[in-house]
Amino acid sequence: MGLFQKPKYLSPDDCHKIHEASLRVLNKIGIVFHHPEVLEILKNNGAKVDNKKVYFPKSLVESALKHCPDSFFWKARNPEHSMTVGGLQASCLFQPNLGPVYVHDLDHGRRNGTKADFVNFQKLTQASQVIQLAGALPVDACDLPQKEKHARLMAETLRHSDKPVIGFGGHLKQVEQQLDLVKIAFDDSEVLKNNHCIAVSVNPLSPLAFSTDALETILAYTKNNQPLFIPPAVMTGVTGPASFFGTIILQNVEILAALTLIQLLNPGNPTVYCTASVVTNMRRACFNTGAPEGLMIHAAGLQMGKDFYNMPTRSLCGYTESKEVDFQAGIESMGSLMMSMMTGCDIAVEFIGCLDSIMTTSYEKMIIDEEVISRMRCLEKGFDTSDQIIEEAFEAIQQAGPGGSYLTLPSTLNTFRSYWEPSVMDWRSYDDWENDEKRSLVHRANAKFKTILKEAPQTMIDEKLDQELRRYCDSAIY
C-alpha cells in the first residue's frame, strides 16, 4: 500500500474561491495578448477585446475547461518509452531542466554551458532509469549562434535519446523547425496529426500578459495537436500579490487564460497545469527557490490542477539556492521533491542536477538526484499489506519462535534482495570507506557520470537519419 492520504493546503471551498476569483479577474481586469491573430480568434469566440486586452466571459472559460483531457498518451520513438501522462498515472515523471546557463563539475567548477554539455546531459538522461523524458534545455549551449540553437539542439536530442521529447519555445520559425525535426525522426510527415510526440512550456508574461513568441508557440503546437505546458512564474510582491493566496489566484488566472485559447484553437489539445511561481527575496530583489513558502504555493497549485480541474500537472521541484553540491542543496532539493511528489505532481522539472536558482546544472548533483528520486519512489510505492503477507509473516514468527533468528528463514532469503540499495551513497563500514581513500559522495558521483558517458552510444540513430537531420538543419538555418 502506498501513501494513504496526500497532504492538502486547500479545502474544497478554498479551491472554489480561487476559481471564482480567477473568473472575476479574467472578466473584469483582462489579459494582454501581443498577437493580432490571437486577438481576432478570441474576439470571434465571444471575448471582449479592447486594443490588446481581452476580457473573458465566464461561459467561455468553463466551456474550455470541459474540453481539457485529464490525460494523454505521449508517443516516443522507442515504444517502450511511450507513456500516459495524467489520469491514474502511477508515479511522477521527471524531465531535464529547462533554462540553466552554467554547468558545474568537480574538475572545472562552474562555467558556461556548451553544445557538448547539452549532448552529455541528453546521454545521461537516456541512460537514466528514473528520468523518463528527454530534450528541454538542461543547459544553454553558449557556443552556438542564437539563430541555430533551436534546430541544432533539437537534432541533438533526437540523435541521443529515443524517449518522449520536450522542445523549447521561440518565434514561429524556430518552433516549426523543431516540429519538422520530430517528423523526420519518426520518418512520418503525418505523425503529429494523430499522436502526441513533443511537448513544450509556454510561460505567461506575468502579470496578465502573453508575449508574441509564447503565442506563436501555442499556435504552432495546437495546429499540430501537441501538448502544451503552461507554467506562470509569478514572483510574490513583484509580478504578483505579496500574499501567497493572491499569487496562487494570479497563477490560476494566467493558466486559465492560456487554457481557454488552446481549447478554442484545438478542442481536446493536451494542456498541463504547471506551478512555477516563487517567493521573492526582497533583500536581493530576485526570486528565491529555497523558500519553504514556495513549496506551499506549488502544493496548492497542484491541488487546483489535479483535484479541482482534473488536469495533468507539472511542478518545479527539487531546486535550491545552493551554489555547490552541499548539505544545503540536499535539504532544499529533497524537501521540495517530497512536497511535489506527495501532493500529486505528474511531471517534475528543475530538479535534475539543479543549483543556484536554476542557473546551473551540476553533473554530480544529477547523479545524486537520480538516487534521491529512487529513494522517493520507494517511499511512494509503500509496502504490501495483503492477506498473503500476513500469513507469510505468521509462519515466519511461528518458525523463529521466542528468541529465535529470522536470518536463515526462506521468507528472509526470498525477500531481502528487494530492499532498496544505494548506488552512490555510501553504506559501507568506516574501515571500508577509509580504505577507499575516504571518497565523498560528490567524488563518487563524479566517477559515475564519467563512466556513464564513456559507455554511452555515440548516437541512437542510423547514418541515414543522421544525415537527414543535418541536411534539414543546414537548409533551415542558412
Q: In this structure, what C-alpha cell is assigned to residue 263?
A: 481549447
* 287 pLDDT above the threshold of 90: no
Work out the pLDDT band at 477, boundaries 50, 70, 90: confident
* 3 pLDDT above the threshold of 80: no
Q: What is the largest distance, in Å, between two alpha-carbon atoms of the chain?
A: 82
d(CA 331, CA 346): 22
pTM: 0.95
CB atoms within 10 A of CB 65: 17
Mean pLDDT of the chain: 95
pLDDT of res. 283: 85
pLDDT of res. 317: 87
Span 428-456, mean pLDDT? 96
Q: In this structure, what C-alpha cell is assigned to residue 27?
A: 472578466
**Shortest CA distance to 314 belongs to which of 304, 326, 328, 329?**
304
Angle between helices 212-223 and 36-44 (to 10 degrees): 60
**Shortest CA distance to 247 belongs to which of 306, 204, 284, 215?**
204
Give per-residue pLDDT as tens, 133-148.
999 999 999 999 999 9
Query: Computed from CA positions of residues 244, 245, 247, 252, in that sequence, does the dihedral angle turn out positive or negative?
Result: positive
Work out the pLDDT band at 5, boundaries 50, 70, 90: low
58, 132, 152, 265 from 135: Cα distances, Å: 37, 11, 12, 26
Q: What ranges in 343-425 are assigned the alpha helix state H? A: 363-381, 387-400, 410-415
Span 256-278, mean pLDDT? 97
Work out the pLDDT band at 382, boundaries 50, 70, 90: confident
Answer whether 464's CB lies under 8 Å from 154's CB. no
Q: In this structure, what C-alpha cell is assigned to residue 61?
A: 472559460
pLDDT of res. 2: 60
Answer whether 260's CB lies under 8 Å from 60's CB. yes
- State the amino acid at position 405 in one-letter form: S
CB atoms within 10 A of CB 11: 10
Q: Which residues contact 212 (CB under 8 A, 6 or more apart)?
A: 34, 35, 171
Span 356-365, mean pLDDT? 96
pLDDT of res. 1: 55
User: What per-residue string of b and e applies to 294-303 under the rule 16 or more CB within 10 Å gives b?
Assistant: bbbbbbbbbb
Span 434-441, mean pLDDT? 94
pLDDT of res. 7: 84
Span 412-419, mean pLDDT? 93
DSSP string, 300-351: HHHHIIIIIS---EEEE-S--S-SSSSHHHHHHHHHHHHHHHHTT-SEEES-
d(CA 423, CA 359): 27
Work out the pLDDT band at 344, boundaries 50, 70, 90: confident
* 4 pLDDT above the threshold of 70: no
Q: In this structure, what C-alpha cell is assigned to residue 252?
A: 490560476
d(CA 123, CA 220): 28
Work out the pLDDT band at 381, boundaries 50, 70, 90: confident
Instruction: Say which residue the cell 567548477 belongs to.
Output: 109
pLDDT of res. 212: 98
Work out the pLDDT band at 348, boundaries 50, 70, 90: very high
d(CA 333, CA 341): 12
Q: Which residues contact 194 (CB under 8 A, 6 or more apart)?
A: 225
Query: Computed from CA positions of residues 86, 88, 92, 95, in that sequence, does the dihedral angle turn out positive or negative?
Result: negative
User: What per-residue string of b and e applies to 235-248 under the rule 16 or more CB within 10 Å gives b?
Assistant: bbeebbeeebbebb
pLDDT of res. 286: 84
Span 331-360, mean pLDDT? 93
d(CA 320, CA 302): 20
Instruction: Say which residue the cell 565523498 belongs to.
Output: 440
32, 35, 39, 167, 205 from 51: Cα distances, Å: 9, 11, 9, 31, 17
pLDDT of res. 109: 97
d(CA 458, CA 448): 18
Span 25-36, mean pLDDT? 98
* 404 pLDDT above the threshold of 90: yes
Work out the pLDDT band at 247, boundaries 50, 70, 90: very high
Cis peptide, bond prior to residue 69, ω within 30 of zero: no
Q: In this structure, what C-alpha cell is assigned to residue 154?
A: 533539437
Pairing of strands 354-355, 360-362: antiparallel
Give per-residue pLDDT as tens, 80-127.
999 999 998 888 999 999 999 999 999 999 999 999 999 999 999 999
Helix or strand holding residue 152 (H, E): helix 146-160
Answer whether 84's CB lies under 8 Å from 72's CB. yes
pLDDT of res. 230: 98
Q: Which residues contact 286 (CB under 8 A, 6 or more apart)?
A: 280, 357
pLDDT of res. 215: 98
Span 207-222, mean pLDDT? 98
Span 438-456, mean pLDDT? 97
* 272 pLDDT above the threshold of 60: yes
